Chains A and B, each alone.
Chain A
Amino acid sequence: MQALTNRVKAVERKPMSFFERMYLVAIFKGMFITFMHIFKKKPTINYPEKKRPFSPVFRGLQVLNRDAEGRENCTACGLCAVACPAEAITMEAAERKEGEGHLYREEKYAAKYEINMLRCIFCGLCEEACPKDAIYLSETFTPADYQRKQFIYNKEDLLIPHPVEEPEAYKKALGNKAKKEIIN
C-alpha cells in the first residue's frame, strides 16, 4: 500500500535477542519507573482539611443581602424569578408596616423567598437581574442532604447574617464580595 505521507515509520519486527527474551532488564526498567513515582508530587488535595481556592467569579450558593444597617435589600420585585432560566425562585411580596423600618429598606419586601437548589443551575442571572443588589452568589456550594424538601431554601437559609449583630459572620458570608460592596 502506498503511504499517504512521507512521515510513516515502518514498525520494526525483528525477533528479540536472547537478552531481551530474558525480560529481566525490561522488568528492572519497569520497576525503576514505578519506583520513581514515589518521589512525584501527588495531585490529591486532602479535601475537608484543605480546600482548593475558588476563582473570583465562582458562582455558589445564593445569599440574600442586607445593607450596612442590617435591613433587607430585597423588595420582592420578581425580576430574579423572571430571569431565572430554571424557574427555581418563588417569592411572595408584602407591604412594610409601621415600625418595621429597621427590618426592610423599602416599603415592599419579600415575605416568602424560596430557591429550589435542585433546580438551580447557578448561572448567576438572578444576581445580574437584581436592581437592588439584594441577591448574589457566594463561594460555598450546596451541602448534601437526605431529603428533597431540604433543598428548598427559604429566607432563613438564604439571608446573610446581620452586619451589626454578627459582624464576623457577616464578613465571612460576604467573602470576596466585600470589595464590590465598597465600590457601591
Chain B
Amino acid sequence: MLLAIDLALIIEKLVLIIIVVMASLGIAMYTTFAERKVAAILQDRRGPNRAGPFGLLQPLADGVKLFFKEEIIPNFSSKFLFILGPSLAMLTAIMTGAVVPWGDKVHFFGRDISLQIADVNVGILYVFAVVSLGVYGIMIGSWASNNKFSLMGGLRAASQIISYELAMGLSLIALLMVTGTLSLKDMVLQQHSEGWHFRWNIIYQPLGFLIFLICAFAECNRTPFDLPEAENELIGGYHTEYSSMKLGFYLFSEYINMFISSVIMSTLFFGGYDIPFLNEANLSVNIAALLGILALMAKVCFFLFLFMWVRWTIPRFRYDQLMNLGWRVLIPLALVNMLVTGGLILLKQNHWHF
C-alpha cells in the first residue's frame, strides 16, 4: 500500500510548513530591524529606538505603514505581470525553506517528527532551481513597470544572477565531490563530529566556501553586488514603480533570501544544526533537537550579521568590475578548486600513491 494516506503525517507536515513559513517571515521582519540597528551601530548612531522597548516594534510599524500606503499601478504597465512580479519573488523566497533540515527530529505524541519538510535526495539541486527562479520575479516586475530604470535594474539583475550562479554551481560541485550526496540532511549528518574529529566542510573546502559566499551576496542582490537596485544610479532599480505592500514584498523577499542563503551556507559548510564535539546521543531527543535548532540559528545570525557588516563596509562595484569578478576570477577559481579537489579525492582513494 504505497499510496495509503497517513493523516497524521499530513497534519505533521502541514504544521511544520506553517511554522517554517511563519518563522522565516518573522525572521525576515526582524532582519530588517537588525539591519537598521547594525547600520546605526556601525556608523556610531543609535538606530530605531522609539517604537516599543529598544524599538522592537519598529518592524510592525513599518509593516503597518506599508499596508496603509497608496497602491499605485502605473497606467502603461502590464497589470497582471506587475502583480505577478513581487508575488513570484516572495513565493520563490519562501519555497526554498522546504528542503532545509532545521533540526534532527523531535518526539511528540509517540511519533518521531523529522524537522525537515521534505528530505529530497536532490535537496541542493532543488534549492538551486528555486533560487534561480527568483530572478523571474525581479525580471517580470521590472519589465512590467514600463520604466527605463526598472528595466535597467531587471537587466542587471538577470545578467548578474546568471553569471554568479555559474560560479556558485561550480564551487558547489567540488563540495558535492567531497560529500558524495545531494541531500542536505545527509550532508549535515556527515559533518557531525566523531569524538574529537572535527568534520565541518569548511575545512575541506575553504576556497569553495569563499566563492560560494561571494556568489551568495550576488544572488541576494546585497552590497557590494546591489547593482539591480542601485539607488543613486537607477532610482530604485527594479522596484522603482512599486509602492505599498508590493514594494514590501520585494524588500521582504530580499531579506528572506538572505536568511535562506545563510541557512544554506551554514548547512553546507558549517555543519547545519550540528554542535561541534557534542554527542547528541547522550541527550534526550527533544533537547538535542532544540539545541540543534539554536545552533543553526546562531550560525545563521552570524551570517546575517556578515551580510550587514559587508554592506556597510564595501562600496558597490562598477558594472564591468562585477562582470570581471564573476567571469574572469570566480569561475576559473571554482574550476581550479574543482580540479584540485577531484585530484585529491582520487589520490586519497589510491591511498596517497600517485
- Indicate if B284 sits at the interface (CB-CB under 8 A): no
B309 touches A42 (CB 8 A): no
Chain B residue at minimal CB-CB distance from A30: B313
**Are A34 and B44 in touch, CB under 8 angstroms?**
no
Task: Kindly report which residue of chain B lies nearest to residue A38, judged by CB atoms.
Answer: B41
Q: Mark B85-104, 1 if CB is under 8 A from A, else 0.
A: 00000000000000000000
Task: A16 to B199: give the CA distance in the assembly, Å.
Answer: 37
With a cutoff of 8 Å between Cβ atoms, the chain B residues found around residue A146 in the complex are: none
The answer to whether B45 has its CB under 8 Å from any CB of chain A is yes
List B contacts of A35 (CB < 8 A). 42, 309
Are A31 and B44 touching (Cβ within 8 A)?
A: no
Minimum distance in angstroms from A89 CB to a CB of chain B:
38
Q: Please give me the residue from chain A that is nearest to B49 by CB atom.
A: A46
CB distance from A28 to the nearest CB of B (A): 10
* Nearest CB in chain A: distance from B117 CB, A: 35
Give every chain B residue within 8 A of A30 (Cβ-Cβ): 313-314
Alpha-carbon separation in the docked complex, A27 to B117 (Å): 38
A43 to B46, CA, bound (A): 9
Contact A31–B41 (Cβ < 8 Å): no
Contact B309 A31 (CB under 8 A): yes
Point out the residues of chain A lying under 8 angstroms from B312, CB to CB. Answer: 34
Contacts of B313 in A (CB 8 A): 27, 30-31, 33-34
Asked if A38 and B42 sit within 8 Å, CB to CB, the answer is yes
Residues of B within 8 Å of A27, CB to CB, are: 313-314
The yes or no answer to B310 lying at the interface (CB within 8 A) is yes
Known contacts A27-B314, A40-B44, A43-B44, A34 near B309 by CB under 8 Å: yes
Residue on B nearest A45 in the bound complex, by CB: B46
Q: Is the CB of B45 within 8 A of A31?
A: no
Contact of B42 among A37, A41, A46 (CB under 8 A): A37
The docked-state distance in angstroms from the alpha carbon of A183 to that of B89 is 74
Interface residues as binary, B27-54 with A (CB distance below 8 Å gives 1, 0 otherwise) = 0000000000000011111100100000
| Cβ–Cβ < 8 Å partners of A33 in chain B | 313
How distant is the Cα of A35 from the Cα of B46 in the complex, in angstroms?
Answer: 15
- The answer for the CA separation of A34 and B42 in the assembled complex, in Å, is 6
Min CB gap B252→A, angstroms? 26
Is there an interface contact between B310 and A31, defined as CB atoms closer than 8 Å?
yes
Least CB separation from B329: chain A residue: A22
CB interface residues, A 20-73, toward B, < 8 Å: 27, 30-31, 33-35, 37-38, 40-44, 46
In the complex, what's the smallest C-beta–C-beta distance from A24 to chain B, in angstroms? 8
Query: How far is A33 from B46 in the complex, measured between Cα atoms in Å?
Result: 18
Residues of A contacting B43 in the complex (Cβ-Cβ under 8 angstroms): 37
**A37 contacts which chain B residues (CB < 8 A)?**
41-44
B327 to chain A, nearest CB (A): 17
- In the bound complex, CA of A46 to CA of B45 (Å): 11
Q: Which residues of B contact A44 (CB under 8 A)?
A: 45-46
Q: Which residues of A contact B45 (CB under 8 A)?
A: 42, 44
Which residues of chain A in 123-149 are interfacial with respect to chain B, using CB atoms and an 8 Å cutoff? none
Question: What is the bound-complex CA distance between A37 and B309, given in angstroms?
Answer: 11
User: In whole angstroms, how far apart are the Cα atoms of A33 and B43 in the complex?
Assistant: 11
Chain B residues positioned under 8 Å from A42 (CB to CB)? 44-46
CA distance A44 to B41 in the complex (A): 11
Residue of A nearest to B315 (CB): A30
Docked Cα-Cα span, A40 to B46, in Å, equals 11
Neighbouring A residues of B46 by C-beta, 8 Å: 42, 44, 46
Q: How far is the CB of A16 from chain B (nearest CB, A)?
A: 15
Q: Show 30 A/B contacts (Cβ-Cβ < 8 Å), sorted by A.
A: A27-B313, A27-B314, A30-B313, A30-B314, A31-B309, A31-B310, A31-B313, A33-B313, A34-B42, A34-B309, A34-B312, A34-B313, A35-B42, A35-B309, A37-B41, A37-B42, A37-B43, A37-B44, A38-B41, A38-B42, A40-B44, A41-B44, A42-B44, A42-B45, A42-B46, A43-B44, A44-B45, A44-B46, A46-B46, A46-B49
Interface residues of B (CB under 8 A from A): 41-46, 49, 309-310, 312-314
- Further 10 A-B residue pairs, CB within 8 A, beyond A34-B42, A40-B44: A27-B313, A31-B313, A35-B309, A37-B42, A38-B41, A38-B42, A41-B44, A42-B44, A44-B45, A46-B49
